[in-house]
């Protein structure tokens, strides 16, 4: 990542890492940042208010001069067929599904509820014509290799899509050189 101050202000910023020369920094034709045609709704499970986000998506798509990509983050719990149909009809482009755990008992202990809707969500999202992105957290003692492999298989079965793994910060050291094949 580069702050682009050398291009826009004509001088390097105070925190410049001096990794690139100014002539190596090229501004994108779409403006600053990696993708300015995306509106992302994140935080909590937004799909519990599908009407609001469907209407917001419709307003965004109508109001913008260029095509806007709308992404909604969800834990999948309220991503019922009806809610997904409503979001798809509003032309939500992508759903970022946060799968906490594949095992129903682990999921219930982490989230206090059933994960059936979450497990069915990848196939439903693809069937609705949306792009599926999956986030799964490595949680030591809870969501480890076996859970992550099951989630990866679930994603693979729904057709290959981006999946991102993050580690919950804890006192248990990470295994930085360990890779799991699915």
Say which residue, 117 or 169, is predicted with more confidence: 117
Inform me whether the pLDDT recorded for 27 exceeds 70: no
Q: What is the pLDDT of residue 52?
A: 93
Neighbours of 43 (CB within 10 A): 7
- Cβ distance 53 to 76 under 8 Å? no
Question: What is the distance between the alpha carbons of residues 142 and 146, in angstroms, rounded to a whole number?
Answer: 10
Nearest to 41 by CA among 69, 65, 63: 69
Under CATH, which architecture does the 37-167 domain have? Alpha-Beta Horseshoe (3.80)
If pLDDT is split at 50, 70 and 90, which confidence band does 92 have? very high
94-106 pLDDT per residue, tens: 888 889 999 999 9
Name the token pair of 13: 């910023």
- Token pair 């290959």 in the structure block, residue: 160
- Compute the mean pLDDT over every residue in the chain, rounded to the nearest whole number: 78
The domain spans of the chain are 1-27, 37-167
């Amino acid at each position: 990542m580069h702050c682009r101050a050398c291009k826009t202000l004509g001088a390097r910023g105070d925190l410049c890492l001096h990794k690139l020369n100014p002539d190596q920094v090229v501004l994108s034709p779409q403006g600053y940042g990696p993708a300015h045609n995306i509106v992302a709704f994140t935080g909590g499970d937004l799909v519990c208010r599908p009407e609001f986000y469907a209407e917001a998506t419709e307003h965004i798509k109508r109001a913008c001069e260029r095509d806007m990509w709308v992404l909604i983050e969800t834990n999948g719990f309220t991503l019922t067929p009806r809610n997904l149909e409503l979001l798809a009809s509003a032309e939500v482009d992508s759903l970022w599904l946060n799968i906490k755990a594949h095992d129903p008992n682990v999921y219930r202990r982490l989230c206090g509820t059933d994960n059936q809707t979450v497990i069915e969500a990848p196939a439903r999202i693809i069937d609705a014509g949306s792009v599926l992105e999956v986030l799964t957290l490595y949680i030591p003692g809870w969501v480890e290799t076996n859970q992550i492999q099951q989630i990866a298989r679930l994603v693979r079965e729904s057709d290959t899509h981006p999946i991102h793994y993050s580690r919950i910060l804890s006192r248990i050291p990470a295994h930085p050189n360990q890779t799991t094949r699915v």
